Amino acid sequence: MKSHIQTDYFVIGSGAVGMAFVDTLLDELPNADIVIIDRFAKAGGHWNSAYPFVTLHQPSAFYGVNSKELSQGRRDEIGLNKGLGDLATGPEILAYFDTVMRQRFLPSGRVRFFPLSDYKGEGVFEHRLTGQTTQVKAKKTVDCTHLNTTVPSTHTPNFDVAADVTFMPLNGLPHLSEAPKGFTIIGGGKTGIDAILWLLENHVPPQSIRWVKSRDAWLINRKHTQPFPEFFETTIGNQANMFEAIAGATSKSDMFDRLEACGYFLRLDTTVRPTMFHGATISEAELAELRRVKDVVRKGRVAKIDAETITFLNGRTEPSLGHVMVDCSATAITNDTIKPVFKDDVITPQTTRAYQPVFSAAMIAWVEANIEGEANKNSLTGVVPLPDDLDRFVRMTAANFMNQALWGQNKALRLWMREQRLDGFSKLVSQVDPDDTAKIDILNRMRAAAMPAMGKLQSFLS
């Protein structure tokens, strides 16, 4: 028999985006009633299926939900992230979201959480263990499944693998019981990077690792993403460098050269021109480690793998070498279709700041609570396209600039952002002492280059 419940906000998905949205809504709309469902048993979304050695790639200091710190307030003292803000591990992130649910959301008396529940459409969800269905009547539905994050353990590769090949997502690596002949890592993104760093850290010689990548990526230097006062010059200074590089560029290609020359971008191999950008962040020490792996195969996309051969879509081949084949080919966020964030009684959180889905979700909740009218809400929450190829970088950066400029004109939003830990950087800028000439100089450089950079991006777009 179907049961019925009523609520103000029906949130589908308790991943980081759903959690960040609800956290802000609780503060901004003190009377709102909220129902959250998820097919997982615990909040935290894809982190429930992550590989055991996963960590954030950005500092914990600006990930999670606004109301609760995730960082331990430390700079790492050892390892490849030494000197930089701590990076939460997968288990830490899951424990964090569970705590937010149990110690903040549920005790508020305004949130009801239905785990192990599949959304079926039309306001109906079904419990995975009992089959019980529930009809939700809500003023608004918040679809936090839109980004469709995929991870290696749950995705299906888009190439064929013969049954006699040892093939596994990187989740399987810690469970190997016998040393294989070698490891072939399939995928050039962040997961591939994580797999290689983990193997090297665990004493696998670089000669036993082969890296198959269809595209090379521009990477962000993690040193430049640190939202801490002692990193002002590197972090905000890097923004100024970026603005100036774009403003001075004579072509799209020249822009990427300048972005690399000023330190904004890193790449694995300075002789190979990257053709993608996924927003992956890396430390200089991690990059040095990756460069120890010399066997990098760039033959395009894999079509099939059998015991003898890896065959690529373009017909080229590579011997399988009896290696364990490690699948790192899942793209984290797969849905790059763009919808209006606010449409009738549906809210679809998407990125309003480049590669910051959780800040964006919290900001969208603030807009929902504080701005009247669908058109006004949508004008503040223009969707920033997800990163992918180099043209997309231009569109993404232009949309990002545009949002920053618009938000700067809304005083209430500006003041709110300054106090939010997920924002990371507004506070850093707002706290600059007017007598600190070095920092003021950086801010002036940014201001001077902002409009020319925007104009340049527009010209590249047209």
Single-letter residue type at 190: K
Pair 363, 430: CB distance under 8 Å: no
Q: Which is nearer to ligand FAD, 190 or 439 (CB)?
A: 190
Nearer to ligand FAD by Cβ, of 15 and 188: the residue is: 15
Among 9, 10, 63, 232, contact with ligand FAD (rule: CB under 6 A) = 63
Does 365 interact with ligand FAD (rule: CB under 6 A)? no
Give the separation between CA 352 and CA 81, rounded to whole angstroms.
Answer: 28
Contact 184, 321 (CB under 8 A): yes
Pick the piece of the chain touching ligand FAD (CB under 6 A) from 16-24, 236-244, 256-264, 415-423.
16-24
**Residue 447, C-beta contacts closer than 8 angstroms, at least 6 positions apart:** none
Stretch that binds ligand FAD, among 50-58, 164-172, 287-295, 407-415 (CB under 6 A): 50-58
* Residues 443, 456: Cα–Cα separation, whole Å: 20
Can you tell me the distance from the alpha carbon of 368 to that of 366, in angstroms, rounded to the nearest whole number? 5
Instruction: For residue 119, state whether it binds ligand FAD (rule: CB under 6 A).
Output: yes
If binding is defined by CB under 6 A, does position 384 make contact with ligand FAD? no
| HSE-CB for 230 with a 13 A CA cutoff | 5
| 17 lines the binding site for ligand FAD (CB under 6 A) | yes
Of 3-11, 46-54, 171-179, 302-310, which part binds ligand FAD (CB under 6 A)? 46-54
For position 64 contacting ligand FAD by CB under 6 A, the verdict is: no
- Output the furthest CA–CA distance in the chain (Å, rounded): 69
Q: What is the DSSP letter of 422?
A: T
**H runs (alpha helix) in 385-430:** 390-408, 411-418, 426-430
Please say whether the beta carbons of 116 and 128 come within 8 A: yes
- Site membership for ligand FAD, residue 138 (CB under 6 A): no
Q: Which is closer to ligand FAD, CB of 17 or CB of 100?
A: 17
Min dist. Cβ of residue 62 to ligand FAD (A): 8
Contact residue for ligand FAD among 46, 110, 258, 377 (CB under 6 A): 46
Distance, in Å, from the CA atom of 154 to the CA atom of 217, rounded to the nearest integer, reads 24
Instruction: Specify whether the CB–CB gap between 313 and 160 falls below 8 A.
Output: no
Query: Tokens representing 251?
Result: 């072509």
Site string for ligand FAD, 295-314 (x = CB under 6 A): --------------------
Q: Confirm or reject binding of residue 333 to ligand FAD (CB under 6 A).
A: yes
CB 138 within 8 Å of CB 4: no
Q: Which of 7, 10, 18, 217 binds ligand FAD (CB under 6 A)?
A: 18
Considering beta carbons, is residue 45 or 188 the nearer one to ligand FAD?
A: 45
Give residues in contact with ligand FAD (CB under 6 A): 12-18, 37-40, 45-46, 50, 54, 56-58, 63, 118-119, 144-145, 147, 149, 151, 332-333, 356-358
